[in-house]
Structure formats: structure tokens, C-alpha cells
Amino acid sequence: MRVRLRQVAAWIRISEKETAAEKGAVLILVAMTLTVLMGMTAMAADYGWLYYNQLNTRKAAEAAALAGVVHMPQPDCADPTVGTDPYTTAIDIASRNGYSTASGATVTPLPGGTCARLRVDISRPINTFFLRVFGYDTLNVTETATAEQLPPLKLGSDEPYLGEDPTETGRDRNFFLAISGEDRAKGQGDAVAARYRNNGNSNPEYEVPAYYYAFEIPGG
């Protein structure tokens, strides 16, 4: 009987050791699972927050570049430095969109590669949520936008004057930008409403109707 009791006691001690070892293994597995879950939560929350801020920063950079490029190019193709209209306007628009020195942002208007282009760089750190567990308290968001001031569209004559050239003789009176009746010659300046060319031949650009008109009547 004593031998049997000793065997039972030994078996109990072995079982207790195995149970303790299993508890330790479960604790390790739970810790590893929690780490993975925290990482996945960080991916979902913090990177969604990062994308949201990147989108807003990009919009602010685009708005600042579009507003500042109106003042481009500068005289003598000068760079948009501090105090110039492109620089000041870009900084102002970025600030109105929430990106200023006071908010921790860095807004930098720069030349865009040509005299008519303006580049705006905006950078700002953002606070994180779950990524702090992994040592990332902040993430830096940087976006760049470039806008270009295109030349005005050309209208009318290719000549450097409007109407009749007083320095030359033998020229037709080319009143470009004029609106004429359909029986007038195209050389009077209307390219689409005139039915005939100056030589009496049909005008290939003649259209019916030539123009559409709209009236805006204020309410009340």
C-alpha cells in the first residue's frame, strides 16, 4: 500500500510540473497573439490616420501652389523668395488651410523648374495612437505640389497689332475680334459668321449659328 501511495504522490508531482509548464506556454502564446493584434490595430488605426493627414496636406499644398503661381513668372525670372508675391500668397493660403508655423507645419515655396512654375512643399509631424507601443510617437507627413502659369490663349490675328496696320499699304482692313453679318467678308475680322472670303469664295469656317448668347438676369 505504501508503494502505491508513493507512486500516486510521484504522479501528482509530475502532473503539477506539466501543468505549470503548460501554463507558461499558454502565457507566451497569449503574449505573442496580443503583440500581433496590437500591430494589426496600429496598421488599421494609425495608417488610416496617416492617409487622412497625407490627403489633407496634399490638398493644402495644391491650393497654395495654385494661388501663388498666379504671380509667376517674377521679373527677370526671379525665384519666389521671402517677401515676393508668390511666396507670400502660398504661405497665406497654406495657413488658411491649417498649415502654419504655429501648427507645427513647415511650408516652403520653391521654384518649380521654370520661370512660370511654383512648387510648394508642406511637412508636419502627426501624433500616433497604437504605434506608440512600438516606439513611434509621431509620424512625419510631407507632400509636394507644383503649379504652372500658362500664357494667355491667343485670339485673332497672328500679327502684332489689332486692326489695320498703318505702316503698310495694300493690306485689307483685318479687324480681328469683330462680329460681322453673314454677307460681310471674312477679312473684316469675323472668322465664323462671314459667309465669304475676301476673294468672293465660300468661307470654309462659316458656321450657322456662329455664336450663342446668354443673358444673366439677377433675381428680384
CA distance readout (Å), 187 to 88, 181, 201: 47, 12, 12
Global confidence as pTM: 0.56
pLDDT classification of 201: cutoffs 50, 70, 90: confident
pLDDT at 109: 96
| pLDDT mean over 51-57 | 95
Q: Tell me the per-residue pLDDT of 37-50, one tens digit each, with 9 for 90 and over.
A: 776 776 778 888 99
pLDDT at 146: 96
CA angle 164–169–171, rounded 5-degree value: 55
User: Residue 172 pairs with which residues in a beta bridge?
Assistant: none
Burial pattern 103-127, b for ≥16 Cβ within 10 A else e, equals: eebebebbbbeeebbbbbbbbbebe
What is the CB neighbour count within 10 angstroms for residue 74? 18
